[in-house]
Structure 1
């Protein structure tokens, strides 16, 4: 992707702090030019390792596309709704059993796409070359989030209904 989009920044945000140094070691071993968010010294490196906590929402807000990890292997995937709430398209592998209640609507509405290790880069290239498709996907994902907001109020209404029955 860097050949087609040399200014693109890859942000890697490991889910667990114990993974921060492991990811840094892998990036170093692969000869990747990267900086660590915790050091606050990003100087245009190709990769930003988000080795901080509590900043994922801000990072999604700066993103054009999100690949939701833990989904290319049988780990169960991570939460796609945070990315969708920012109106950005979501890419995910098909191992999303931790979020089986979310992905069908995102896929059906066009807010997310299934990818695998063979087509991830091609799919990213396609999305970067088609800004309108990116915008449409992001809007679709945001619509799914908006349609499913209010779970607490819906639950309280059901409880109240049962109490008063």
Structure 2
């Protein structure tokens, strides 16, 4: 009652500002939607990351249904438009804005990506008999503790959900403890991994087996990697090296660093490709090509304290994944891969030896890459299965 009363008052004030407000603010009030066919699917994600993660799902749903996508931010809106769907900004969670939006859209099904739960939106959809589904749900321990103090808000929202697909066991347990019905659980899925999981990797071969990719490196890492490569070459170990710095402004700096180590690179910007003995990947948007060319990938940001970068893009190409100790950004993912023998942690002291062992054992490379890809596919979930389930909710 307190939340509804406060948002009711806020909604009145917002409506008073509507005549002089800009287009985006009016859109957040549920005003100015384009002409839309009734009975479609409303899919909502907070911003760019959530919308992008749902791209595979959106593409599948569009083959069967009208889909209208909303985000909370203009950049998320633009991301949705780039996917070729009708899109707009989501209404604020005031009773007036939600009602105006739903009066115009008249959806048959509402899908939320990850963890965007709003009390007025939830209640309004329930009153109109619109099934609510959450896909790729996740809930941190901190967020669960906050929601536990607001039981009167979270428990009714979770109780209204028709179906929920959760990213991981921990989030599932937290949501169940807060009131999510067991009957609402769908098979676990991680939408952000669905697109990488659809990648068809190039087959292993002698050229890939000799190619090492240092992906998305940061200042301080290239020197460590180049020292290891120099040591291996001094031992007579044949290898190709691709260095792909994270930030374009460092391309010239890294070129000079490589030359000073006796490894002057060919540069992608000058037309060189992955068959160069030493390549600086000083281009944008071509990382999939470098993952596909390499049998071994060291994920950057992990030898220095930058938190590490995703292991799933190299896993999509069945690369043998190496990483340093600094992987806080993807701690759970790397723990899963390491525990399954699908990735190899290294330190500055062990990097050269681990690289030498993998370069000398192509079968081990292939085994590591296959394990990583299998975990990726399992973690992503089956998009076709999700789409079939959603189809029953939308048509049932």
Report the TM-score when normalising by structure 1.
Answer: 0.85
Q: In the alignment, what sits opposite 1:111?
A: 342
Superposed CA RMSD: 2.4
Q: What do residues 96-148 of structure 1 show as CA deviations (whole Å, max 9, x unaligned)?
A: 01111311111111110100011111001101111221111111100111011
C-alpha distance 43-86 of structure 1, shift in aligned 2 (>3 A): closer
Name the structure where helix makes up a greater proportion of residues.
2
> Which secondary structure state, in structure 1, belongs to the residue aligned with residue 344 of structure 2?
strand
Q: In the alignment, what sits opposite 1:139?
A: 370
Rounded Cα–Cα distance in structure 2 between residues aligned with 1:44 and 1:138: 21
Alignment pair present for 1:149 and 2:388: no
With a CA cutoff of 8 Å and minimum separation of 6, indicate the structure with the bigger relative contact order.
Answer: 1
- Unaligned runs of 5+ residues in structure 1 are none
Task: State the Cα distance separating 1:41 from its structure 2 match.
Answer: 3.7
Q: What do residues 56-78 of structure 1 show as CA deviations (whole Å, max 9, x unaligned)?
A: 11111111100111101111011
Rounded Cα–Cα distance in structure 1 between residues aligned with 2:272 and 2:323: 30
User: What stretches of structure 1 move > 6 A for 4+ residues in a row?
Assistant: 151-154
Rounded Cα–Cα distance in structure 1 between residues aligned with 2:308 and 2:373: 19
Alignment pair present for 1:13 and 2:244: yes
Q: In the alignment, what sits opposite 1:86?
A: 317
C-alpha distance 37-66 of structure 1, shift in aligned 2 (>3 A): same
Rounded Cα–Cα distance in structure 2 between residues aligned with 1:42 and 1:85: 21
> Which secondary structure state, in structure 1, belongs to the residue aligned with residue 354 of structure 2?
helix
> Which secondary structure state, in structure 1, belongs to the residue aligned with residue 373 of structure 2?
helix
Structure showing greater radius of gyration is 2
Q: In the alignment, what sits opposite 2:255?
A: 24
